[in-house]
Amino acid sequence: MARHILIIEDDETLCEELKDILEDEGYDVTSSNDGLNGLDLAVRGGFDLLLLDLRLPGMSGLEILRSVRARSLPLKVIVLTGSPRTGDLPKGIRPSEADDVQVLSTADRVIFKPFHIVDLLDEIKRLTA
């Protein structure tokens, strides 16, 4: 049985590339380029894993992660983000601020961009085994 992955990533090129690679690896993949739509998809369920960007239109990745965890949705989450020094956290938020760090720490894995696809695939395999 194929594992179902949800990608919420506003970079359409990266999103499509990830979708193509994961489908070639045998995963069922659904994607969204918008935070609100992505959360709606996650809440509907049926996913084993969520690949989540932090900077999204409509709703931030931190808000989505907070909502996913508050609802106790049974899915693993890999956050894909740039270094906090590049401004991937909301404006005015430093990575050391307790609330956002606590939310981010609920992710199963945080992978910083740019990343090697082999490393991401290894983490996906590990989390969906």
Quick one: pLDDT at residue 85?
A: 45
The average confidence (pLDDT) of the chain is 88
Between the alpha carbon of residue 98 and those of residues 16, 93, 95, the distances in Å are 34, 10, 8
Burial of 108 (0-12, 13-18, 19+ CB in 10 A): middle
Instruction: Give 97 or 23, the one with higher predicted confidence.
Output: 23
Q: What total number of domains does the chain contain? A: 1
Burial of 24 (0-12, 13-18, 19+ CB in 10 A): exposed
Model confidence, pTM: 0.87
What does the pLDDT look like over 67-91, one tens digit per residue? Answer: 999 999 999 999 998 755 444 445 5
Give the domain range for residue 27.
4-128
At residue 14's C-alpha, the angle toward residues 9 and 19, to 5°, is: 85
Quick one: pLDDT at residue 82?
A: 78
What does the pLDDT look like over 25-48, one tens digit per residue? Answer: 999 999 999 999 999 999 998 999
Q: CA–CA separation, 129 vs 125, rounded Å?
A: 6
Quick one: pLDDT at residue 2?
A: 72
Quick one: pLDDT at residue 104?
A: 84
Quick one: pLDDT at residue 81?
A: 86
Please, which pLDDT band fits residue 113 given cuts at 50, 70 and 90?
A: confident
Cβ neighbours around 61 below 10 Å, total: 29
Domain with 10 in it: what CATH number? Answer: 3.40.50.2300
Please, which pLDDT band fits residue 93 given cuts at 50, 70 and 90?
A: very low
